[in-house]
Amino acid sequence: MNENESKLIKKIKKGDQLAFKRLYERHADYALRTAYSITKDRSDASDIVQETFIKIYRNIETFDVKRPFKPWFYQILINESRSYLSKRSKQAVNIESERLLDQLHRNAENERQYDELELGLDELDDKDRTILTLKYLNGFTEKEIAKMFGANVNTIKSRLYKGRQRLKVAMGGLKDE
């Protein structure tokens, strides 16, 4: 965690609401995109983000400022999203594909790639989509992803490899044998 964010969290722990507002502003856009990619509904995504930040606020005392904030935050967001979906229906989770699509969409020259990637990601199962986006879009390590999912690091590496292969096939490429 960067020093600035650490100071911000220390201020929040002391009850500084302005510091919490800054933390919210720093992470709300990505959280909303993540929740939207899970629910495909802006209203539901907004509810999930609101609940996530409420949990962050209520549990900030338990957060160890020596650890990175982002994985802790995303773990709460993912858990809140899963909980929300299981209440709404028994659907699987699609984490962060919206963020990747938004990044590609920002560049007009990448419009074709955006469409292909969207179709390709839609072909993947939720675990593949989730792990690929956490690794390649959010920059989480295999170890961090394994911890989030309660899985072995080698399992995550295998899923990353298989997910890349499936995405390549889904986007019209040939599978490596």
pLDDT in tens, 56-74: 999 999 998 888 888 899 8
Mean pLDDT of 19-30: 92
Residue 132 and residue 161: Cα distance in Å, rounded? 9
Instruction: Say how far apart CA 59 and CA 56 lie, in whole Å.
Output: 5
- Using a cut of 0.85, tell me whether the model's pTM lies above it: no
Q: Per residue in 119-175, pLDDT tens?
A: 676 777 777 877 777 776 667 889 988 888 888 999 999 988 888 888 888 777 665
Q: Are 130 and 96 in contact (CB under 8 A)?
A: yes
CA-to-CA distance for 117 and 171, rounded, in angstroms? Answer: 7
What's the mean per-residue pLDDT of the chain? 78
Torsions phi, psi for 63 (to 5 deg): -75, 130
C-alpha to C-alpha distance for 142 and 134, rounded to whole angstroms: 9
Q: Locate tokens 């179709």: which residue? A: 119
